[in-house]
């Protein structure tokens, strides 16, 4: 079946976005690079939030914000050095 250029370019873009997401997740999962992976993933989600500002669809903002907070919270719970750096109470 022949496809037009728009369908092919959106499929390629989806593959790139999926690859970046998987790479950031892999960096988060590997303990020595978990802080770098969390920073990359939150920056990636922040870009997603910034690109949807002004949109009528509020879901990407909620999903990106909640997922970014979850990534940082999970990293904070897993890494004791980060808990010393950013304590919840004094």
Per-residue pLDDT of 20-38, as tens digits, reads 888 888 888 888 888 888 8
Least confident among 55-59, 66-70, 77-81, 86-90: 55-59
What counts of helices (H) and strands (E) characterise the chain? 4, 0
Percent of the chain at pLDDT > 70 equals 76
Strands (E), 1-90: none
Q: Could you tell me the residue ranges of all domains in the chain? A: 5-85
3-state secondary structure of 86: coil
On whether the CB atoms of residues 65 and 50 are closer than 8 A, the answer is no
């Amino acid at each position: 079946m022949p496809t037009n250029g728009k369908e092919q370019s959106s499929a390629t873009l989806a593959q790139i976005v999926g690859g970046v997401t998987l790479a950031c997740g892999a960096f988060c999962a590997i303990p020595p690079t978990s802080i770098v992976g969390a920073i990359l993933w939150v920056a990636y989600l922040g870009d997603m939030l910034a690109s949807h500002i002004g949109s009528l669809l509020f879901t990407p903002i909620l999903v990106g914000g909640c997922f970014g907070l979850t990534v940082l919270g999970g990293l904070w719970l897993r890494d004791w050095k980060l808990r010393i750096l950013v304590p919840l109470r004094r």
